[in-house]
Chain A
């Protein structure tokens, strides 16, 4: 039996065009489409796999931003037992130090054996959230994890190094793990099941005492990359492009 908490956040969907705010200090959030951080999704999968294997409960905690409720109901449909929304002024974007304080404060109440989170998120500027939460709670942290086995009072984890090398590590519980990939790809749940959860499941709200930004950094300036040398773009309709590609393949000795 394990009490597992997954801490997750919504991040900009990178498929959309991103714009900078008028001050030039951050993203223009008015048009931002948010989706769950890809690696948080893997953390949720790993949490549910562990629960299915070992028994126990999975609690998912996320800051209140646009789309968070749909995301939390989706985790319920996947098998999460408890969903908690951090109520606070997260809509404008906060740094991960502030977010980690809020996560730590809320996660603590659930006496977790294990806290799982994505190894990083695409909008992290002051480091990922997992190691900060770990330190605020006095727990050990290991990131880049792609496999977890629970034993009495400890976990055996697979830590990824470049080239596919794995370091098998042992860590005492409670601990925080930064998940790179769950043991299985994130499961798919049918929309109908999510809709059903919207009717039956409940999302709890946790009030955050005060956002504490200390230790975080805020960017002086944000901007879109100025491409020094951009690719030579191949234009035309599909037939023309195909023909041009073939001549480039020939030139490169691939044909």
Chain B
């Protein structure tokens, strides 16, 4: 095994995903510990140009028509052959639609340990965030290549960006035939009535709102504030609001002047999409809700006890 830290560079439809830069920053922290290099691994087809902003010591690039867009089988085979050949100290993947499908399968295929949901490297230790952000778990690198999936929160994308293009070394992808998974097409999201990523004030509701009818209360409040109503994933999965209103990892990233989080616990997947808001006010009955760790102002209170007095006072001052 060598000391280097490898990072699977994620890209989608010709753009490097932000998690790639975050991983490069995390990899730098780890590499300082192992005294190794940070090596970006790019799988693609005619994709060299994607490397120009990556803060890596060098890039290993596998070019193959079957790697043009992500599919699980082709990525797994290529990364497996690279790990077997080079045996890095650790291989970082995004805990994402791309990285998670590769890392776990390879943990089983190559019998390598996997640490998931790592948010920060601290003194060479991998710090993971589990249980919706309510528990931290600390793990060590193993004696063999450790596979790690990374979630945002611990590093800024800028820390993994560089002005200077890294050197590219090419790697021959293994035979990529008999693939069991193929991409048919991308389906673009339907545009919603509003683009929440452009709104200055957002009233965001979570499972704490309890029923579809109660959304009206959030809408009344939003009207006073000139705000738009958005939501966490469970509200959208219930069919109560359209997907265009979803904030977070699988929804939109928002950065409003004011983000009012009502009955939202602050799971990492939600926080990922709203942590950069200028001001966050969180209303939640649970004093341990992780949302209070990132909010500017917190209200530990039952939303349903607070909403009527709040609406009444707003009515009065109007």
Residue ranges of A at the interface with B (Cβ–Cβ < 8 Å): 12, 14-15, 17-18, 20, 27, 38, 42, 97, 100, 119-120, 122-128, 130-132, 134-136, 140-144, 156, 158-172, 175, 178, 180-181, 184-185, 214-217, 219-225, 227-234, 238-239, 241-243, 245-246, 248-249, 252-255
Contact = CB atoms under 8 A, between A and B. Distances in A.
Contacts of A217: 113-115, 139, 142
B65 interface: no
A15 B290 CA distance: 11
Interface stretch (B23-31, B40-48, B100-108, B163-171): B100-108
A104 to B, nearest CB: 9
Interface string B83-123: 00000000000001100110111011101111111000000
A144 B137 CA distance: 24
B279 interface: yes
Given A124-B117, A215-B107, A143 B100 contact: yes
A164 B186 CA distance: 11
Contacts of A163: 189, 251-252
Q: Is the interface of B mostly helix, strand, loop or mixed?
A: mixed
A125 B140 CA distance: 13
Which bucket holds chain B's interface residue count?
A: 35 or more
| B104, B134, B293, B308, most chain A CB atoms within 10 A | B104
Contacts of B51: none
Contacts of B305: 238
A160 B290 CA distance: 25
B125 interface: yes
A168 B186 contact: yes
B111 A215 contact: yes
Given A124-B117, A217-B142, A233-B298, A140 B72 contact: yes
Contacts of A134: 105, 108
Contact of A215 (B112, B140, B281): B112
Given A127-B100, A169-B184, A225 B293 contact: yes
Interface stretch (B1-9, B55-63, B242-250): B242-250
B184 A166 contact: no
A232 B298 contact: yes
Max count, chain B CB within 10 A of own CB: residue among A42, A159, A171, A231: A231
B238 interface: yes
A167 B250 CA distance: 13
B281 A245 contact: yes
Interface of B: 12-13, 17, 69-73, 96-97, 100-101, 103-105, 107-109, 111-117, 125, 128-140, 142, 149, 180-190, 201, 224-227, 234, 237-239, 243-244, 246, 249-252, 257-258, 265, 279-282, 286, 288, 290, 292-301, 305-306, 308-310, 312-314, 317
Given A124-B130, A128-B100, A168 B138 contact: no
Contacts of B135: 18, 20, 27, 222-225
Which 5 pairs of residues, A with B, have the shortest CB-CB distance?
A164-B189, A231-B298, A135-B108, A131-B104, A231-B295
Contacts of A184: 239
Contact of B108 (A12, A122, A136, A170): A136
Nearest to B306: A238
Given A120-B100, A217-B115, 12 more contacts: A27-B135, A130-B104, A132-B105, A162-B97, A164-B243, A167-B186, A168-B186, A185-B239, A225-B133, A231-B295, A233-B292, A246-B317
Given A156-B184, A233-B298, A246-B313, A224 B107 contact: no
Nearest to B95: A120
A252 B279 contact: yes
B310 A245 contact: yes
A142 B101 contact: yes
Contacts of A14: 131-132, 134, 265
B302 to A, nearest CB: 9
A122 B234 CA distance: 14
Contacts of B112: 215
A219 B113 contact: no
A253 B184 CA distance: 47
A80 B47 CA distance: 46
A127 B149 contact: yes
A14 B239 CA distance: 22
Contacts of B290: 225
